């Protein structure tokens, strides 16, 4: 999709030519393209375009007499004065949306001079922004009656770099791998629950494995019974769809630490017998966004093939439905590993399926660290809104790595505490644990429940209930599922250090 363009941008004859323009602290913004120079001067004079962040200007340059046919449209995108990695992602998103609006399928972006950032960073972030900003999910839309109304997809994105071509190529590749994985996660989440069921997670895992040579294992009901995974089996009891546990292994080929990723793959959460209210229940098809992120990141891992790290992904998947055999409040189940749990509320189901996956993964793979992603609690939305993912961890070094990775990707996290005061709330009078704390601190007591199943292994839990969809909207993050977590996990993998 993305490629480096090595000719002179002035000779480009695709649909749209794009320049990103910084706002100088002194003097006027400039564009190197001769045909738009005078127009830019007039736009600046009239203060219509000052190259502030987010400003755009579309021009239709006068063709030069006798010259070869060149591009018909030029887009100028303002970057503002303080330029960061995020500036380029946002600019990329704006470019994608502008291109879609004018139905430009072939575009060329000219990389600006790298002043505040490296060429690597600039190319990476622009690539991420443009691919993510161009994301659309149209699978279920019929064709428009008038072909002119039919939206155009961005087909070819070329990038021209004046200076360090090798760095630009590296950055573009990194950005493209990350963004395509995010789009994959968004696609899975956008699918309705009557299509994307637990079996689909397994199929996707198998497809990735055969495409990239990863190892895949899918546990079905028979294996789950043999392994005594009472959490996943219990939650599944009320559903007509069989559960799956999809396990993907990337091995770097030498002796290396294992990073274990676990994602909640609840393909529809009705609440079960503790039924959710009707309004908004349709959004609970997104309760599989943690699982989607974890499998999507394996696609990126398989493409990048990190050297000193093995990465294993586990996605426990089921629906949570109130069928005749469903779990009832008060039922007691036995999780993988033998701990018993009194189910006080069948809507607190995520922790039950994650507990099996975490305990199984930790005992089988002996990971150096485990990270789980889950749309786990409404409480995290009360606390942090739709702007930050909740982070809870039993290990400071891992928590720091998570915070730094999130920050770098503009997927910010906020750490919440754990501790015995919270864990105590999960004591049951008749079983080892119950699946519900008191009314307050719901995001933390949910994490405290998971903590019981990872032992001493360094572990980080990301509660993405507020960010998996309805995440802070910006040019490259649409309404609907955001694919949050994919880029943060990929950054963690790219920079991972075994936690002390």
Q: Which residues would be at the binding site for ligand BES (CB under 6 A)?
A: 269, 287, 345, 347-350, 375-379, 436, 442, 465
Report whether 352 contacts 336 (CB < 8 A): no
| DSSP code per residue over 350-367 | HHHHHHHHHHHHHHHH--
User: CB 419: neighbour CB atoms within 10 A?
Assistant: 10
Q: 89, 169, 174, 351: which is the annotated catalytic residue?
A: 351
User: CB 432: neighbour CB atoms within 10 A?
Assistant: 16
Residue with Cβ nearer ligand BES (80 or 234): 234
Closest residue to ligand BES using C-beta atoms: 378
Distance CA 487, CA 181 (A): 8
* Whether 276 is catalytic: yes
Shortest Å distance, C-beta 137 to ligand BES? 19
Residue with Cβ nearer ligand BES (127 or 284): 284
Question: Which partner from the list Zn ion, ligand BES, none does 57 bind, CB cut-off 5 to 8 Å by kind?
Answer: none
Question: Which partner from the list ligand BES, Zn ion, none does 191 bind, CB cut-off 5 to 8 Å by kind?
Answer: none
Residue with Cβ nearer ligand BES (141 or 282): 282
Cα-trace Rg, the chain: 25
Q: Which token pair is 77? A: 């995108």
Question: Which partner from the list ligand BES, Zn ion, none does 436 bind, CB cut-off 5 to 8 Å by kind?
Answer: ligand BES
Q: 106, 251, 276, 339: which is the annotated catalytic residue?
A: 276
Shortest Å distance, C-beta 223 to Zn ion? 23
* Whether 251 is catalytic: no
Q: Do strands 413-415 and 332-334 pair parallel, antiparallel, or not at all (unpaired)?
A: unpaired
User: CB 277: neighbour CB atoms within 10 A?
Assistant: 7
DSSP letter at 371 equals E
C-alpha closest to that of 338 among 354, 360, 361: 360
Shortest Å distance, C-beta 214 to ligand BES? 28
Contacts of residue 180, Cβ cutoff 8 Å, sequence gap at least 6: 1, 131, 299, 300
Question: Which partner from the list ligand BES, Zn ion, none does 373 bind, CB cut-off 5 to 8 Å by kind?
Answer: none
Segments of 52-96 assigned E as strands: 56-59, 74-80
Residue with Cβ nearer ligand BES (232 or 465): 465
Distance CA 298, CA 105 (A): 29
Q: What residues pair up with 179 in beta bridges, in sequence order?
A: none
List residues binding Zn ion (CB under 5 A): 266, 269, 287, 347, 349-350
Cα 420 to Cα 352, 375, 427, 448, 451: the distances in Å are: 20, 24, 11, 9, 11
Shortest Å distance, C-beta 447 to ligand BES? 12
Shortest Å distance, C-beta 349 to Zn ion? 5
Residue with Cβ nearer ligand BES (290 or 499): 290
Residue with Cβ nearer Zn ion (72 or 322): 322
Q: Please give the angle made by the CA atoms of 337, 339 and 344, to the nearest 5 degrees.
A: 135
Shortest Å distance, C-beta 474 to ligand BES? 21
- The number of angstroms, rounded, from the C-alpha of 451 to the middle of its chain's C-alpha atoms is 24
Residue with Cβ nearer Zn ion (235 or 391): 235
Contacts of residue 191, Cβ cutoff 8 Å, sequence gap at least 6: 139, 200, 285
Shortest Å distance, C-beta 270 to Zn ion? 8
What sign does the CA torsion over 142, 289, 346, 235 have? positive
Question: Which partner from the list ligand BES, Zn ion, none does 199 bind, CB cut-off 5 to 8 Å by kind?
Answer: none
Question: Which partner from the list ligand BES, Zn ion, none does 128 bind, CB cut-off 5 to 8 Å by kind?
Answer: none
Task: Please list the active-site residues.
Answer: 276, 351
């Amino acid at each position: 999709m993305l490629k480096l363009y090595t000719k002179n941008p002035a000779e480009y004859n695709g649909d749209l030519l794009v320049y990103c323009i910084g706002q100088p602290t002194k003097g006027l913004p400039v564009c190197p393209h001769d045909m738009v120079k005078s127009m830019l001067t007039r736009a600046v004079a009239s203060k219509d375009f000052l190259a502030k962040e987010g400003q755009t200007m579309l021009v239709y340059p006068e063709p030069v007499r006798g010259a070869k046919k060149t591009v018909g449209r030029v887009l100028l995108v303002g970057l503002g004065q303080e330029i960061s990695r995020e500036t380029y992602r946002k600019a990329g998103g704006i470019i994608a949306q502008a291109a879609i609006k004018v139905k430009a399928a072939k575009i060329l972006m000219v990389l600006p001079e790298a002043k505040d950032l490296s060429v690597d960073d600039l190319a990476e972030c622009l690539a991420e922004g443009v691919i993510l900003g161009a994301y659309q999910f149209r699978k279920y839309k019929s064709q428009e009656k008038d072909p002119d109304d039919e939206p155009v997809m961005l087909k070819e994105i070329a990038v021209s770099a004046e200076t360090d071509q090798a760095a630009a190529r590296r950055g573009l590749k990194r950005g493209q791998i990350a963004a395509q994985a995010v789009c994959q996660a968004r696609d899975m989440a956008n699918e309705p629950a009557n299509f994307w069921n637990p079996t689909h997670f397994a199929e996707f895992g198998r497809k990735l494995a055969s495409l990239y040579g990863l190892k895949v294992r899918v546990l079905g009901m028979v294996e789950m019974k043999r392994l005594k995974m009472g959490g996943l089996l219990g939650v599944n009891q009320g559903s007509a769809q069989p559960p799956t546990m999809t396990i993907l292994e990337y091995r770097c080929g030498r002796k290396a630490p294992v990073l274990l990723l676990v994602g909640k793959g609840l393909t529809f959460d009705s609440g079960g017998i503790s039924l959710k209210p009707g309004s908004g229940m349709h959004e609970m098809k997104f309760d599989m966004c943690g699982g989607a992120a974890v499998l999507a990141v394996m696609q990126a891992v398989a493409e990048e093939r990190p050297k000193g790290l093995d990465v294993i992904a586990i996605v426990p998947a089921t629906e949570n439905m109130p069928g005749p055999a469903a779990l009832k409040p008060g039922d007691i189940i036995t999780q993988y590993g033998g701990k018993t749990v009194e189910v006080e509320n069948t809507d607190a189901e995520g922790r039950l399926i994650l507990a099996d996956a975490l305990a199984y993964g930790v005992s089988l793979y002996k990971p150096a660290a485990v990270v789980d992603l889950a749309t786990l609690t409404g409480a995290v939305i009360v606390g942090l809104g739709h702007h930050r993912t909740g982070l809870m961890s039993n290990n400071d070094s891992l928590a720091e790595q998570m915070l730094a990775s999130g920050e770098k990707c503009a997927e910010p996290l906020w750490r919440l505490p754990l501790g015995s005061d919270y864990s105590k709330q999960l004591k049951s009078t008749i079983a080892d644990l119950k699946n519900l704390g008191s009314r307050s601190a719901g995001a933390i007591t949910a994490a405290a429940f998971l903590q019981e199943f990872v032992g001493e292994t360094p572990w980080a839990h990301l509660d993405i209930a507020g960010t998996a969809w309805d995440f802070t909207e910006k040019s490259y993050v649409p309404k609907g599922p955001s694919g949050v977590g994919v880029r943060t996990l990929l950054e963690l993998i790219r920079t991972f250090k075994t936690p002390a």
